[in-house]
Amino acid sequence: MAEVKLIATTDSLFCARIEWALKLKGVEYEFIEVDIRNKSPLLLKYNPVHKKVPVLVHHGKPIAESLVILEYIEETWKNNPLLPEDPYERSMARFWAQFAGDKCLWGAWEAAKLAEGEGKVKAIESTQESLAFLEKQIEGKKYFGGEQIGFLDLAVGGIPHSLSAMEEAGGVKLLDAERFPSLHKWAQNFIEVPVIKECIPPREQLLNYFNTSISYIRSLSVAKP
């Protein structure tokens, strides 16, 4: 029985983050794919609170929430550190990881899912303002972590890839190369790193998921009297 199991799906950037961290640290693990739409028994057992992936199970004990799992991996396998040693730099990495998720990823989803209108325009503006902050953080650097991939690279890593599929499904342009050249360059480099490339959710799967979700969401607002 594997000591480290990852309960996950192949189309989630949150799961990809965990695989990247485990691979960067050379940790062997068993990938257990689950069907989140049908709430597999494994999911209900190991993440009864949220019933979501990813869940890392180490020595039989589960850990959920991707950023929490990343911190656990960092503290348990100390080789190839992902977080800086300095407490201030660590707090910056944590702050920007949260920001990237809340404001860039979820902001982009708001912008993508809305039908044309004032709400969509505002959501696009707000997301691009957030992306501008992230652009400043990567300017002049190879990775957010400096010369090596770090915690913040893993936290932000799947976002440009997801955004590209969201943009196509939602009919929006968010992360354009002209306005965000450093983010663009970083994203292109990041995705070519072999360990990263092996686990990136396939674009077709993401596009399919976003297309279906957006159609459904937009049909609900049309259906309202």
Partner 1 sequence: MADEVILLDFWPSMFGMRVKIALAEKGIEYEYKEENLWNKSTQLLQMNPVHQLIPVLIHNGKPVCESLVMVEYIDEVWKDKSPLLPTDPHQRAHARFWTDFVDKKVFDVSKRIWSTKIEENESTKKELIETFKILEGKLRDKPYFGGETFGFVDLALITFYSRFYSAEMFGNFSIEAEFPEINAWAKRCMQKDTVAKSIPDQKKVYEFLVQMRKQLGLD
Return residues touching partner 1 (CB under 8 A).
Answer: 49, 58, 61, 63-65, 67-69, 71-72, 75-76, 87-88, 90-91, 94-95, 98-99, 133
Sheet with 61-64: strands ordered across: 30-33, 4-8, 55-58, 61-64
Nearest to partner 1 of 72, 209 (CB atom): 72
Q: Report, in Å, the least distance between residue 20 CB and partner 1.
A: 18
Q: Which residues contact 118 (CB under 8 A, 6 or more apart)?
A: none
* Strand pairing category for 4-8 and 61-64: unpaired
Q: Report, in Å, the least distance between residue 170 CB and partner 1.
A: 24
Tokens, residue 161: 């890839």
Q: Report, in Å, the least distance between residue 97 CB and partner 1.
A: 9
Q: Distance between CA atoms of 129 and 104, rounded to whole angstroms?
A: 9
Nearest to partner 1 of 52, 120 (CB atom): 52
Nearest to partner 1 of 93, 214 (CB atom): 93
Q: Distance between CA atoms of 67 and 164, rounded to whole angstroms?
A: 22
Nearest to partner 1 of 94, 184 (CB atom): 94
Q: Report, in Å, the least distance between residue 114 CB and partner 1.
A: 20
DSSP notation for 97-134: HHHIIIIIIHHHHHHHHSPSSHHHHHHHHHHHHHHHHH
Nearest to partner 1 of 63, 175 (CB atom): 63
Q: Report, in Å, the least distance between residue 117 CB and partner 1.
A: 23
